Amino acid sequence: MKTTRLRVTMECVEPTVVRVLDVPAASLLPEVHDLLQAALGWTDSHLHQFVAGDVRYGMTDPDWLDDELDEIDESGVKLRALGEQFTYLYDFGDGWEHRVEVLGPGGERPGVAAGEGACPPEDVGGPGGYHQFRAAIADPRHPEHDTYTTWAATWRDRFDLAASDLLVRQTAGAVPGPVRLLLELTADGVRPTPGGRLPRTVVRQVQERYPEWHVMPDVPARIEDDLPPLAILHDLMRHVGLLRMRNGVLSPTRASADDVETIRRLRSWFGPDNGYECILAGVSVAHVVAGGPYTAGQLAALVHPYLGYGWATGDGTPVDEGHIRRDLYRWRACLVGLDLVAVDDGVWSAGPSARWLLPRATALAHLWSESEAESEAGSGSGSEWGSESGSGSGLAN
């Protein structure tokens, strides 16, 4: 994978916050946004914008007057369109401004090569508020010391290079194993059955690798519908343009040879980022990663607060836990086929791709897992509040 190396500096912030990261060279701006959030330590809780010269790019919203904002839709814009230096704005209320420099080609994979400085807490009030926050937590006699330490109980004044690197790699994504397998099995072209389904030789090879996909794993599969995750995976990959039929032969498309494009197309199956299906899948997978395993009913109860309010069925009925549970069953074969979840005897657990395909699942699982770890560790003596970890930053390399 070709990557581009970026150096990101948070403006007007002390101590200095810098990240040097490698991102896929073919990244679109929404993907760059996800990667910057992961590298810096933000939680994607606010609006953002890219500024290159006099041109501004952002997430267009029909409820906003885009002409007044003078903003171009970022969705189809590639990183290279921004030039060698640009500004990344985050949280228009707090006004976090990041200077981004394009340093040239990066390493062999996405990730964080170096960095220093802790990311400020969300909603701390911008650079000025962050300065006041740091002064208060550093002085036990400060009148707001107790208030701030309670408010930001899980915040730590340190940068973890290894954790940041892993999170950026997970956010960039990886091609799920079942997708890779099906591309390999069809690489030389296969002739489908008269009904357009995968031939038995392919079905049997998939069953050998994923025997749990058959409701009767000890019985040889005859057709792809015997393996529901395979059936949906076949349809999915044809729908998003990773497999195609030509002259009666099914084979991978040219796009499937590019991991970045393959991941992008798989993500598109779930619809727009703010759509029901995308939120349902991302939040559900994040929950099984951070706290699972769960039954479908337990998972629906956890997901409902993120989905239930403001969503309605076609006849106007508000979405409740029952709707979500039914939708989870409807999506189960797809989530299993993409290695996002594993379902055994009605219990849902995280699959190998749970942190590596859907950015929302990656971000939420990281946030919730980190919060749980901090809670289990307790507040401690507070010795980390005033200590910036210099070791392992990677900037000296």
Asked if 337 and 239 touch (Cβ cutoff 8 Å), the reply is: no
d(CA 198, CA 212) in angstroms, rounded, equals: 19
Q: What burial class does residue 17 get, using C-beta atoms within 10 Å of its C-beta: 0-12 exposed, 13-18 middle, 19+ buried?
A: buried
Domain ranges of the chain: 3-172, 177-268, 276-377
Provide the token pair at 62: 């029909």
The C-alpha torsion from 43 through 45 and 46 to 49, rounded to 10°, is 40
Q: What burial class does residue 203 get, using C-beta atoms within 10 Å of its C-beta: 0-12 exposed, 13-18 middle, 19+ buried?
A: buried
**Which residue's entry shows tokens 């307790």?**
378
d(CA 151, CA 145) in angstroms, rounded, equals: 10
Per-residue pLDDT at 309 exceeds 80: no
Per-residue pLDDT at 379 exceeds 50: no
Q: Which of 68-72, 156-160, 189-193 has the lowest mean pLDDT?
A: 68-72
Asked if 240 and 225 touch (Cβ cutoff 8 Å), the reply is: no
Q: Which of 31-40, 285-294, 367-376 has the lowest mean pLDDT?
A: 367-376
Residue 68: pLDDT band by 50, 70, 90 thresholds? low
The string of pLDDT tens digits covering residues 133-142 is 999 999 999 9
Q: Tell me the residue type at 211.
A: P
The C-alpha torsion from 371 through 31 and 173 to 306, rounded to 10°, is 40
CATH topology of domain 3-172: 3.10.290
Element (H, E) at 50: strand 48-52
Asked if 181 and 202 touch (Cβ cutoff 8 Å), the reply is: no
The string of pLDDT tens digits covering residues 219-239 is 899 999 999 999 999 999 999
- Give domain 177-268's CATH architecture: Orthogonal Bundle (1.10)
Higher pLDDT, 372 or 167: 167
Asked if 353 and 339 touch (Cβ cutoff 8 Å), the reply is: yes
Say if 3-172 and 177-268 have the same CATH topology.
no
Per-residue pLDDT at 387 exceeds 70: no
- Any alpha helices (H) in 84-174, and if so which ranges? 126-138, 145-151, 161-172
Candidates 3.30.70, 1.10.10, 3.80.10, 1.20.1060; CATH matching 276-377: 1.10.10
Q: What burial class does residue 144 get, using C-beta atoms within 10 Å of its C-beta: 0-12 exposed, 13-18 middle, 19+ buried?
A: middle
Reported as half-sphere exposure (CB side, CA atoms, 13 A), residue 135 has a value of 9
Per-residue pLDDT at 77 exceeds 90: yes
Mean pLDDT of the region 141-168: 95
- Any alpha helices (H) in 139-219, and if so which ranges? 145-151, 161-172, 177-185, 200-209
Radius of gyration of the chain (CA): 23
Mean pLDDT of the region 368-377: 70
